[in-house]
Amino acid sequence: MKIGEIYKLQIVGTGVNGEGIAKWDKYVCFIPGALDGDTVLAKTVKIKKNIVFMRLDEVITPSPYRIAPPCKYFGECGGCTLLNTTYSKQISIKRDKVYQTIKRIGNIDVTPENVVECDKKYNYRNKALIPVAKSENGEIVAGFFKGKSHEVLDISDCMIQDKYAFEVVKIIKDWMKKFNIEPYFPGKTGVVRHIFFRRGVYTNEVMAGVVTSADELPYKNELVNMLKGLDNLKSVIHNINKSHTSVLMGDKTEILYGNEFIEDIILDKRFRIGPLSFYQVNPAQVQKLYGTAIELIEPGKDDVVFDIYCGVGTIGLCMADKVKKVYGIEIVPEAIEYAKENAKLNNINNAEFFVGKAEEKINNFINMENKPNVVVLDPPRAGCDRHLLDAVNEMQPEKVCYVSCDVATLARDLNILCNEYNYNVKKVVPVDMFAHSSHVETIAFLVKE
């Protein structure tokens, strides 16, 4: 194969990021936009040993799983890579991804349960951080990044975002134009980095605002007045992020109007959520996610649960009325304050929450008289710190329930827990939290041998 040449290929599989896979001689070819069953023409972009990265040039014979994508931005926007694929095939791709990844990285051969399907497949995301930029002709644009690019694609609607989100986008773009407020340009000029949106789907409460590179926000009262036209607006925020990194939000948030939080409901429990709080982006599906996790754990009245990476306390508080005690730990101070408030809000008296790095604080729980016998892990995409897994093993819990948004880091951590520390994977349940994307949430339930 040579770079720049076009080849006719039969797509025989799907990669972990939703790209089509073809084979040509000794090469494995990855082609974004191609589907299992397609016959395509594709151009070689990069060759690395026996792996070839290609660009889809033409679909000669379409796959039986190929459908017309219902979004006009598909192919240009970097999100929703499976929007041109039947939902049944999406589910099949995700289940196979979980199986293959855990087998390859985790060295564990376990057949996942059927994927817990998403009932609401469109407009399900309750949070958005939408980048703002200037186009080449000087227009303010807001939307999402183009595929494998830092160029912002101007978007007026989105198939998976909450409908309210782009009402907020329109208002804030109008505010920026009216008062000549510039988008931030890395390392140079401008003010507004992102437009912030969050909604409680079961309460309809809306939080909106901007993330900027400046301590002072010009014309902030005018921004509040323009946003007040939104139904159910409960909070307007100004988050300050002066970093020159890919971190989306800073540590300091100014409340311009209303409450410091909005509320939402999971499994009949009410939760307060701040602008920096982690909260699952698909509230309808999170009912199934947490319900499945609790069902696997089978909590009993004598169980002591340690909810690590607890966020605002969602998983632990949802099972608190079934167990003796819940402890939660989280590195974000704001989240722990909300976890404590959420316990009071739901009249839960058997839950305690602590701020800190789990891998450092866990030692305080290892030698306690009623140490936890159930551990829940719900880490960020990077997975668990090795020192934390060592400490979990030292604690010797009977049950571990690991909830992951990245099956690769889940597989890495399962390799340690199972192949080094003699835990046994009893069940793996994929949950489709992110319909039309290649991402999948996964629950792994382990018991001590």
Catalytic residue among 77, 80, 405, 418: 405
Per-residue burial over 410-442, b if 16 or more Cβ lie within 10 Å, else e, is bbbbbebbbeebebebebbbbbbbbbbbbbbbb
Specify whether the CB–CB gap between 275 and 302 falls below 8 A: no
155: left (phi over 0), alpha (psi -120 to 50) or beta: beta
Chain mean position to CA 270: 21
C-alpha to C-alpha distances, 335 to 15, 129, 178, 355, nearest whole angstrom: 35, 18, 36, 9
203 token code pair: 């309460």
Task: Say whether 405 is catalytic.
Answer: yes
Specify whether the CB–CB gap between 400 and 377 falls below 8 A: yes
Token look-up 């909830």 returns 403
CA angle 382, 387, 388 (to 5 degrees): 70
C-alpha to C-alpha distances, 400 to 1, 426, 428, nearest whole angstrom: 47, 10, 12
**Cα–Cα dist 301/308, whole Å:** 20
CA quadruple 377, 382, 388, 389: dihedral positive or negative? positive
Beta-strand relationship, 51-61 and 27-31: parallel
Specify whether the CB–CB gap between 30 and 53 falls below 8 A: yes
Residues paired with residue 381 on neighbouring β-strands, in sequence order:
none
**Cα–Cα dist 125/284, whole Å:** 9
Beta-strand relationship, 269-273 and 262-266: antiparallel
Active site residues: 405
